Amino acid sequence: MSGSGLSRIHILGAGAVGLLFAAHLRQAGHPITLLLRTQAAVDRFERQGCRISVVNDWMRANPARSRLLAPGEPIAPCAVDDIQAETPAGTHAAIGKLILATKAQDTLRAFADVRSRLDAQSTVVMLQNGMGAFEAIQRELYAHAAAPAFIVGTNAHGCLRRASDEFSTHHTAMGTCRLALRPAVAGSAPPDSALELLTALGALPLDVAVVNWSDLQPLLLLKLAANAIINPATALAGCHNRSMHPLKHTDGHAGIQGFVVLACAEIAAIYARAHPHLHAELSAQAIEEYVAHIIDVTAQNRSSMLQDVAGGRPTEVEWINGYLVRLGQQHGVPTPVNAALYGLVKLKESTARE
């Protein structure tokens, strides 16, 4: 896997998603540097051989691939090596291409640590759940300075990282990834690094497609809706995503079915005021169908919010349900469902850390 002729890609956020993209990009020959929080993490990575592993658990749910596995046969991890690692402040070397795969609640702080290594010719890919991280970076760090190009993505691949294996990710559900170049405030042409990074990501075997920003926006809002329903409910109930499926319940306003219907109607009402030009694409029915689809393809998953609560870590609820509550307030739309979910998850966070 020679990196000859290809410029280095830095990845900030070595969680399940960051490791998935790092491994596939390295497999394609791109030089990769992981930006890890501490020197101790860098040392651990180097001691285990500068290697990332991906376990393709999604193969068990794929009819064609599962026939290649004997009953109970473990799936061998796919390992890639020759990956570099450093801390964000470990060097002052410029970063031309950055994939930002941190949790939403960590994004601004983490990005601030590498801001000095980026310039107007750099490109940043953002792969966060929720909404508002891009706006926070622009507001806090680039209000009076030239910003790099930003590519925003929505990732629907299911993956998780187990605490026992720090640099391995389990690819649990094959999904899609959609990317769009965020329009520049000044309308300037994007740097060469943006096209190069979009080309590199578009060539990965992860169903990656590059779309216009106007086409990505409804996809981001649909994913936000799904996260706002599935993540807090599973975190509070302590259940896998499959327990959320509305088709398991026949009484239209009882149990989980009633909750999903009410939540979808509330989010659709917020979107109708905040994004009236997307009303047809973001109707309550469209949101319900999308949520059911995500539950189907991630049925065996434990949501990231559930994993965070179980691990006693802060969740992304501020950027998901909190964002929807604030958006509803801005447009005069009541948000009792999202406000309740937000408050309960915040309570769960505080009690989990006691």
Q: What is the mean pLDDT of each run of 10 residues along the chain (354 residues)?
A: 73 96 96 97 96 90 59 76 94 94 95 96 95 94 92 92 90 92 78 96 96 95 96 93 68 69 96 96 96 86 90 94 98 98 95 72
Give the pLDDT of residue 176. 92
- Starting at the earlier edge strand, list the strands of the sheet with 149-155: 84-86, 32-35, 9-12, 97-100, 123-126, 149-155, 177-181, 208-210
Give the pLDDT of residue 2. 45
Q: What's the rounded Cα separation, in Å, for the pair 242 and 306? A: 13
Give the pLDDT of residue 6. 84
Give the pLDDT of residue 75. 76
What's this model's pTM, rounded to 2 decimal places? 0.89
What per-residue string of b and e applies to 312-327 under the rule 16 or more CB within 10 Å gives b?
Answer: ebebbbbbbbbbbbbb
- Starting at the earlier edge strand, list the strands of the sheet with 52-55: 78-80, 52-55, 168-173, 158-160
Give the pLDDT of residue 76. 73
Burial zone of 350 (CB within 10 Å; 0-12 exposed, 13-18 middle, 19+ buried): exposed
Residue entry with tokens 């794929």: 62
Give the pLDDT of residue 3. 45
Residue entry with tokens 């020759």: 82
Give the pLDDT of residue 253. 41
Give the pLDDT of residue 228. 97
Give the pLDDT of residue 89. 86
Residue entry with tokens 């995503």: 241
Give the pLDDT of residue 252. 44
